Amino acid sequence: MAIITNPVLPGYHPDPSMLRVGDDYYIAVSTFEWFPGVQIHHSRDLVHWRLLTYPLTRTTQLDMVGNIDSGGVWAPCLSHAAGIFYLIYTDVKSRKGAFKDTHNYLVTAENIEGPWSDPVYLNSSGFDPSLFHDDDGSSWLLNMIWDFRKGENAFAGIALQRYNRVSQSLTGPVHNIFKGTRLGVTEAPHLYKCNGYYYLITAEGGTGYTHAVTVARSASLPGPYEVDPDNPVLTSDPGQPGELQKAGHASLVETQNGEWYMAHLCARPAVENKCILGRETAIQKCHWTQDGWLRVMDGPHPSINVEAPKLPPHPMRMENDRDEFSSAELKGYWNSLRRAFGEDWISLSERPGFLRLKGGESMQSMHRQSLLARRLTDFHVEIETQLEYSPEDFQQMAGLIIYYDTTDYAYLCVTHHEARGRCLGIIESRHGQYDELLTERIALPEGPICLMATIHNERLQFHVASIDEAWRTIGDVIDIRHLSDDAADYIRFTGTFVGLCAQDLGGRRRAADFSYFDYRPLP
């Protein structure tokens, strides 16, 4: 019997929207402030998955320069009707305080790999939008409603409004079809029609350790919706630290053979409830009861090992974790912060065989950082690169960074010191507090320099080597449990990235050249 091993998308892959079209399965996940926007993963058996494409690759589709940490793309929804793929997403511009500026957009494509259209603006009344296509040919937008008023429930219910696919606009009245259950924090609506009912799947309980999947149903689209008496249908057991935590925010798919599966987000604590990898995606098998309610097969708690559907196995070819920057295009797993890839700051052609980063703004900038990074997907890993860089002053830096957001990162950087010349330092930001972790910066010889980071759960160690020299350990072990959703005073939603960056705080855009990047999972 084939087994699905969870999480199927390890590392920062939250808010899965799962879709089947023919024999192909897709999962779209949130990308927040990272560019390109929305990852779409592909499978043919629900066991093997690979990153297929990003639909939001142009600034005309997604302009995030200036977006706050954990803003940007929230909770995409992928759907398909009449030969067209529809992708709905929120671009969150503000989220702290009473107000949230959450703009909802729609892009379309005839092919899942694009080209995807420029966006159609929908509304801004709340986040987590989804599109439901009824069997009468109509389409309907759902989203949670945000209520900023004092004394009111901020999660004010689920809005339903008709979407006209011809005019590409919302039309008709807005219905509040579901106010939620006692768990509260009702969000992430998805509608399905089955067994003569409309089934509304929502996330409740907040996106932390009390997260849950709840179900309600109605014989008519606008309601009223009857709450499942056994809700939640899926939630984690915080008393089982070795299991999947934070289970919630789900979507459903029916296989070609009539089997049902649920994709949901989850998280795995590295230590003391700190989920350094971020929120991940898992899949559970489901069934319907005789009285027409959805149940997770081994629920209500998520399982790591799940019976796979009765489909032919279909392994996927994955991209190599070592990138020698010999191609004309970046590998699919690379992301940048907030801005699109452009020759004004990143190049694979100016020096063939190298990645060139032109120095940008500081690590705390929400505008134009020159940072290229990939998700941390393993608890135990080595990351290595080789850098050629000749900074002229202390405002110029480049190197290897372990990054959560503008307030939390650890950075092994090559820079310049008036007395020591080219030198090596470690910069850390912990909850927004800047620090330098070496008692004094280490002078470096001229020529290429190799940088390495080893991560074991919450422990990070940096290393350095000149060409043809043995590795030297640099600095003490760094505790990186602050690189997690769970370590902040205000809730945040992404995960740890590892990557390369360059800064030129004087504005001269001093370039740094990287000859390779090697990501090596360890036992």
Which amino acids are annotated catalytic? 15, 187
Give the separation between CA 484 and CA 486, rounded to whole angstroms: 5
**CB atoms closer than 10 angstroms to residue 257:** 8
Give the separation between CA 164 and CA 106, rounded to whole angstroms: 12
Q: Among 146, 139, 178, which Cα is nearest to 161's? A: 139
Quickly list DSSP for 462-517. EEEEETTS--EEEEEEEE-TTSSGGGSSS------EEEEEEEETTSS--EEEEEEE
Residue count (the chain): 523
Give the separation between CA 284 and CA 296, rounded to whole angstroms: 7
Peptide bond between residue 115 and the one before it cis (omega within 30 degrees of 0): yes
Give the separation between CA 120 and CA 231, rounded to whole angstroms: 35
**CB atoms closer than 10 angstroms to residue 99:** 10
∠ CA 511-514-516, rounded to 5°: 165
Tokens 């699905």 found at = 4
The residues facing 270 across adjacent strands are: none
Q: Yes or no: say if 387 and 521 are a contact pair by the CB < 8 Å rule.
A: no
The upper half-sphere exposure of residue 225, i.e. CA atoms within 13 Å in the direction of its Cβ, equals: 26
Which residues of 231-291 form beta strands (DSSP E)? 234-235, 245-254, 260-267, 280-288
Cα 255 → chain centroid: 25
Give the separation between CA 314 and CA 73, rounded to whole angstroms: 30
Cα 131 → chain centroid: 20
Three-class secondary structure assignment of 289-309: CCCCCEEECCCCCCCCEEECC
How many helices (H) and strands (E) the chain has is answered by 0, 40
CA 215 vs CA 134, 181, 202, 203, 251: distances in Å: 18, 10, 6, 9, 11
| Strand, helix or coil for residue 261 | strand
Three-class secondary structure assignment of 102-151: EEEEEEEECCCCCCCCCCEEEECCCCCCEEEECCCCCEEEEEEEECCCCC
Give the separation between CA 108 and CA 84, rounded to whole angstroms: 7
Give the separation between CA 447 and CA 407, rounded to whole angstroms: 32
